[in-house]
Structure 1
């Protein structure tokens, strides 16, 4: 994770109602690393950040309320925050490598000319689901998290953290403890959730239409032990986004970039290097 040959610049980007902490390394085509899971911060890319910086100008930043970025004081959108990152760092267009799918796809929809390619890792999104239907599914999500929530209520934070980690990666991963430390650090956000980003309900409910209009190179990366929801999401996105490619990472669940570093890095770099 350490490479002293590559200098790293850091700072804060001013956004409406807050600041976003970022890091930049490398030169060339900009590559922005995104994480949507609310229990990890930009450190989850430690095994990619400097490795990829040998080939690209790599940018990673903390979402509001996580890592070194403070919670928002007023309503905001994650798309506007990402746009502000690009503007502040004088980036006209970039590759997006996202843990999750929503932010990257929403950004393509709003700023198509600013995206040259997208890699979606463990996407869990149903293009045919309206906003109201997604809200109706929240009890199902909460049911999956019920044991961890109960552990939190009992003030057993160690057990709560372990239960959450089991949903993110296979216990056999060599980086299990490293990820656990990151999650434990961000667990305070579960107890005191930051203000979530606002959602464009119309764009959300019409995804099944505009996903078909995405025409940048797209790679879907999924673990062979991914939850069924992620598996079905990946199949749906592959069918909906024109020309989308899919690649499976073996012996991985959700945090593919931490579970199988070499497999993941090779898949991502091979895909990006093939773009003309």
Structure 2
């Protein structure tokens, strides 16, 4: 089918994040907070991590996007997310939800339903089993790791699109990004990315940054995931050449987010589209 998005379009979005430095309000989890902030900074965005009830609505009132991540959830943080989501939705800024560990516990599922009942996110990004669980499929996650392939979750992704009217990204060896009419597949990345905690959560944060500068949320999600995939691929290869492991790879990923050039992106990008 005719390409819906070109590598130069993706590069334009990367450049927009670097030039406009959008303020991304993240209510995320303790495990990934530092890496998420550094990923956003390296990509050119401006992160703020605020969850206090006394300021969360004011912060969502000045941000260009809101990212919610339930990785280390508790009632106080879920209420922070609910308050911020209300404000962001009222303002009309993009909102991104990462349902980390959906399906692992009843409380996690109840919290996701509370947030979805508050307002429909602009984008939901998760692994295969998380997306399937949020859509109502009977699937059990392995803690916060996926027990299902991204390809297995396509039906669930479509169901979520129908429910929210937004964009759903199923991440895995192949990333699938769908909305009500478009379906993109991305094949970049490296298996070592799964050995660094917070890489998936950082991809969600990047989606928030890209949605802040690109009004087409589907395109913004494709661009963010393309950047993360190419950067992870390049970083792993450089680490191997240097006889280094995943610890060094994390640092190289931050370097590549800052320094990646258009030629490298266009040379490496593995992107295709399928009929909806």
TM above 0.5, yes or no, is no
- Over alpha carbons, which structure has the higher Rg? 1
Q: Which TM-score band (shorter chain)? A: 0.3 to 0.5
Structure with the bigger percentage of strand? 1
Which structure shows the higher helix fraction? Answer: 2
> What TM-score results when the alignment is normalised by the length of structure 1?
0.38
